[in-house]
C-alpha cells in the first residue's frame, strides 16, 4: 500500500515504537490518528505532525477502543491502516504467574487488538480494503524462562493475525505481523513482574548468553520495518532475520 494520504490509526503512539511509527508515517504522507492514554504526550506529538488527530484511548477497555475507531472514522471519513502497537511486558516463571496481572496483559496485548481489528473490519470492507499490522515480539517464537506469560499472549496474537489474513483476503484486507527484537525504549522499565516472584537476585547474576546478544534496535528501526510491511503487505516481518529461523 502507498501510505500517502492514507489514514493510519497507531495505538501506543505516545512513546517508543508507536511514537517513532507515527513520525515516520506522517513524514511519508499519512494522516495519523494518535491513540494512547497520555493526553499531554499525544498533544505534544500532534503539534509537530500535520494531518494528525489525538484520540485518547485505553486499549484495555472495549468501549474506549470502539470510540477510538468511531472518532477516527467520523473525523477522516475512512480508515486505511491500523497499527496495533500498544502493549506491555510481563515477566515471571510459570509457577508464579500472577493471574490478575496476566488477565490485564491479556486484555491489553490480545483482547484490545482483537477488538480494534473487529471494529475496523466493517469500515475497511465497505471502502474496499485496508491494512492491519499487529506488533508481536520475537519472544513469541522462543521458549525463554520467565517469559512464558508474555510470549504466549503474543503467540496467540500471531495466530489471530495470520488466520484473519486468510479470512479477510477476499475483502482485500491485509493482516500482517511484525516481530521486534529487543528495542531501546522504556518497555523493560514498564514491564510488569508477577507478584510473589523476586527477580532481583536473578537480575544481578551474570548471564553469559545475554552478554553475547547483539545490542537493542532503536524504535526508529522497528518503525521502518512496520512501514515496510505496510508497503509490501507481506504476512510477517522480522526485525532480526534470525528470529525467523531461530538460528
**So which residues are the catalytic ones?**
150
Q: Give the CA distances from residue 25 to residues 52, 133, 147, 150, in Å, rounded to whole numbers and listed in that order.
A: 10, 13, 31, 28
HSE-up (13 A, CA, CB side) for residue 111? 14
Rounded to whole angstroms, the Cα distance separating 169 from 6 reads 20
E-only strand ranges, the chain: 7-11, 31-36, 53-56, 81-84, 90-91, 130-135, 173-179, 192-193, 236-238
Rounded to whole angstroms, the Cα distance separating 131 from 81 reads 5
* Residues, the chain: 247
Rounded to whole angstroms, the Cα distance separating 98 from 95 reads 9
Write the DSSP assignment of 174-199 as a string of letters. EEEEEE--SBSSSTTTT-EE-TT---
With beta carbons less than 8 A apart as the criterion, state whether 99 and 152 touch: no
With beta carbons less than 8 A apart as the criterion, state whether 116 and 69 touch: yes
Residue in this structure with the C-alpha cell 515504537, named with its chain if needed: 17
Amino acid at each position: 500500500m502507498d501510505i500517502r494520504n492514507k489514514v493510519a490509526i497507531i495505538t501506543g503512539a505516545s512513546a517508543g515504537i508507536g511514537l517513532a511509527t507515527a513520525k515516520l508515517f506522517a513524514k511519508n504522507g499519512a494522516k495519523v490518528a494518535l491513540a494512547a492514554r497520555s493526553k499531554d504526550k499525544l498533544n505534544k506529538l500532534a503539534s509537530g505532525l500535520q494531518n494528525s488527530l489525538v484520540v485518547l484511548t485505553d486499549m484495555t477497555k472495549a468501549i474506549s477502543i470502539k470510540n477510538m475507531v468511531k472518532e477516527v472514522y467520523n473525523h477522516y471519513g475512512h480508515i486505511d491502516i491500523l497499527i496495533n502497537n500498544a502493549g506491555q511486558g510481563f515477566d515471571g516463571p510459570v509457577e508464579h504467574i500472577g493471574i490478575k496481572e496476566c488477565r490485564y496483559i491479556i486484555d491489553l496485548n490480545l483482547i484490545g487488538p482483537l477488538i480494534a481489528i473487529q471494529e475496523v473490519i466493517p469500515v475497511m470492507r465497505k471502502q474496499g480494503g485496508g491494512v492491519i499490522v499487529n506488533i508481536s515480539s520475537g519472544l513469541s517464537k522462543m521458549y525463554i524462562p520467565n517469559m512464558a506469560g508474555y510470549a504466549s499472549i503474543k503467540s496467540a496474537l500471531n495466530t489471530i493475525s495470520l488466520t484473519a489474513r486468510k479470512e479477510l483476503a477476499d475483502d482485500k484486507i491485509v493482516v500482517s505481523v511484525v516481530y521486534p527484537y529487543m528495542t531501546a525504549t522504556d518497555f523493560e522499565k514498564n514491564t510488569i513482574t508477577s507478584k510473589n516472584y523476586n527477580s532481583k537476585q536473578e537480575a544481578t547474576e551474570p548471564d553469559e548468553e545475554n552478554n553475547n546478544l547483539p545490542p537493542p534496535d532503536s524504535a526508529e528501526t522497528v518503525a521502518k520495518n512496520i512501514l515496510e510491511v505496510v508497503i509490501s503487505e507481506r504476512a510477517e516481518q522480522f526485525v532480526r532475520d534470525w528470529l525467523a529461523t531461530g538460528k
